[in-house]
């Protein structure tokens, strides 16, 4: 499935909910389905800088695709990283690098986050793309 198709699915899923209370609950539920990072990767090197909560992300290449795992110590943040991993995991590095993140505005996420969580969201996206850039460099 392409990044764009996954983003469109998320937009459709979030549009089913009438208010942000329900959307937050859905994000929390998504966080519970997150492919969890192995405990050995819960290190300072894997913490995303700029997040209010602790968020660990690990990336590895499998069959020329970047596979992400993550965890967070906060349930909303865990939901946010789960959304991003759903979009970007199991994709080729070049596709991750080129992907836009307009879907975040389309589901209304950024406008419903506190400023510190919104900054954390930007940091998460930046880190996932940095992993993709590193792996793309290795492929070239």
Catalytic position from the list 6, 51, 87, 99: 51
Residue 102, burial from CB neighbour count under 10 angstroms (0-12, 13-18, 19+) = exposed
97 alpha carbon, distance to own chain's centre: 14
* Rounded distance between C-alpha atoms, residue 72 and residue 25, angstroms: 16
Q: At what angle do helices 75-88 and 20-32 cross, to 10 degrees?
A: 70
Concerning whether 95 is annotated as a catalytic residue, the answer is no
**Which residue, among 36, 43, 14, 17, has the nearest Cα to 81 in the 3D structure?**
36
By annotation, the residues acting in catalysis are 51
């Amino acid at each position: 499935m392409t990044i764009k198709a996954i983003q469109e699915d998320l937009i459709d899923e979030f549009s089913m909910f009438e208010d942000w209370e329900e959307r937050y609950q859905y994000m929390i539920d998504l966080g519970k389905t997150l492919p969890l990072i192995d405990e050995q990767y819960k290190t300072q090197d894997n913490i995303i800088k700029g997040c209010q909560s602790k968020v660990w992300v690990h990336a590895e290449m499998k069959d020329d695709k970047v596979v992400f795992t993550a965890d967070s110590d906060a349930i909303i943040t865990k939901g946010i990283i789960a959304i991003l991993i759903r979009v970007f995991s199991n994709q080729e590095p070049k596709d991750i690098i080129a992907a836009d993140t307009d879907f975040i505005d389309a589901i209304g996420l950024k406008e419903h986050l506190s400023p510190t969580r919104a900054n954390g969201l930007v940091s998460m996206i930046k880190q996932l793309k940095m992993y993709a850039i590193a792996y793309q460099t290795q492929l070239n």
